[in-house]
Amino acid sequence: MTFLEFLPRIAVGFDLELSNLLQRSLTAQSMTFHLETKVTAVKIDNGRVTATATKGNEELRFEADKVLVSVGRRPFAEGVGAEKVGVEVDERKRIKIDNHFRTNVEAFMQSAT
């Protein structure tokens, strides 16, 4: 399995040490990483996929059976009912949390009786 990553490391949202440990672990499982690599084109021909990428000034080509494209992340909080229970959201519609990942609404348990 080959990964083409635009950024200089995988799992950029994680601690640097954890990100490096994850990459070493996946590399030991025969996964290959091409970091700081920008995919510029993907072409499908007779059921085979060819991805064209650049790393620095070098153009690279990768052939595969399948390609998974994942570009960034964005919050998905609309329509989950948070507003019905009073959970606060910020100007970008993200659920507000504190340093312990808690919302402004206290958790409660309801008995099943």
pTM of this prediction?
A: 0.64
Average pLDDT over residues 4-13: 92
Residue 82 has what pLDDT? Answer: 83
Residue 89 has what DSSP assignment? B
Q: Which CATH class is domain 2-64?
A: alpha beta
Please report, for the chain, the start and end positions of each structural domain, with discontinuous segments joined by +.
2-64, 75-107
In angstroms, rounded to a whole number, what is the distance separating the alpha carbons of residues 29 and 81? 41
Which residues, listed in sequence order, are joined to residue 63 by a DSSP beta bridge?
A: 50
Residue 54 has what pLDDT? Answer: 97
Average pLDDT over residues 89-113: 78
Q: Which residues of 38-75 are buried (b: 16+ CB within 10 A; e: fewer)?
A: ebeeeeeeeeeeebebeeeeeeeebeeeeeeeeeeeee
Per-residue pLDDT reduced to its tens digit, 17-53: 999 999 999 999 999 999 999 999 999 999 899 999 9
Residue 108 has what pLDDT? Answer: 59
- Is pLDDT larger for residue 74 or for residue 12? 12
